[in-house]
A and B are shown apart, each in its own frame.
Chain A
Amino acid sequence: GAGVSQSPSNKVTEKGKDVELRCDPISGHTALYWYRQSLGQGLEFLIYFQGNSAPDKSGLPSDRFSAERTGGSVSTLTIQRTQQEDSAVYLCASSLTREGAEAFFGQGTRLTVV
């Protein structure tokens, strides 16, 4: 596709349920990033992929959070046993290279845990 695509755009889930958020990066982009943006807050770094490897997963807030990337393309962020504090917009970005190339952002997935 022309841009970074994230699905679903909105997700409402009950506390304790697991959720999967999907990111389709721009074709050919080797670097992929996940961020969390809470209401009125900045971008909290979660994890960075280079190809299928995650050199930096230091931002994952707890072991309930995990992510994978397959085929150097699609990435899935999984949150297990969701809590209300997980409610936020989850943003995905990709860039052509890991160096100075611009990161392009998707529109995000708005997660609401009730």
Chain B
Amino acid sequence: AQSVTQLDSQVPVFEEAPVELRCNYSSSVSVYLFWYVQYPNQGLQLLLKYLSGSTLVKGINGFEAEFNKSQTSFHLRKPSVHISDTAEYFCAVKDSSYTLIFGSGTRLLVRP
């Protein structure tokens, strides 16, 4: 069965610093990859997704992610974070079973 690993449960970072949130998945076959964000007391919303084509995907709010098939990774990056980026970030994978599986989440804490 597919699994998703987000090794960092919490990532503290200072405002305007760069950040990378890590995501690894188990399957090496064709997959669809997603990053979702959950702001405090709000529902989940899509940040970006990879379906095919260019391995570098750009999303909303200045976030981007890179698909690396050989390392089965889909790490999320932002060159300069804001206080408003403080939230929980979830990586998700869908393979040929079409079940959408989520990682355990990474809490991004941006400090002034």
How many interface residues does chain A have, given as a range? Answer: 20 to 34
Please report the C-alpha to C-alpha distance between residue A107 and residue B105 in the assembled complex, in whole angstroms.
18
Cβ of A35: which chain B residues have Cβ within 8 Å of it?
Answer: 102
When the two chains form their complex, are residues B44 and A105 in contact, meaning their CB atoms are under 8 A apart? yes
Cβ of A45: which chain B residues have Cβ within 8 Å of it?
Answer: 99-102
**Is A33 interfacial (CB 8 A cutoff)?**
yes
Per-position 1/0 for B1-31, Cβ under 8 A of A: 1000010000000000000000000000000
A34 to chain B, nearest CB (A): 11
How many residue pairs at the A-B interface have CB separations less than 8 Å? 60
**Is A1 interfacial (CB 8 A cutoff)?**
no
Chain A CB count within 10 A is highest, among B36, B51, B99, for: B99
When the two chains form their complex, are residues B104 and A48 in contact, meaning their CB atoms are under 8 A apart? no
Beyond A41-B105, A45-B100, A56-B98: 7 further Cβ-contacts under 8 Å?
Answer: A33-B100, A35-B102, A42-B102, A48-B100, A58-B99, A100-B32, A100-B49
Contact sample, A vs B, 16 pairs, CB 8 Å cutoff: A31-B98, A41-B105, A42-B105, A45-B99, A48-B99, A50-B98, A56-B97, A56-B98, A91-B43, A93-B100, A98-B98, A99-B32, A100-B51, A105-B36, A105-B43, A107-B43
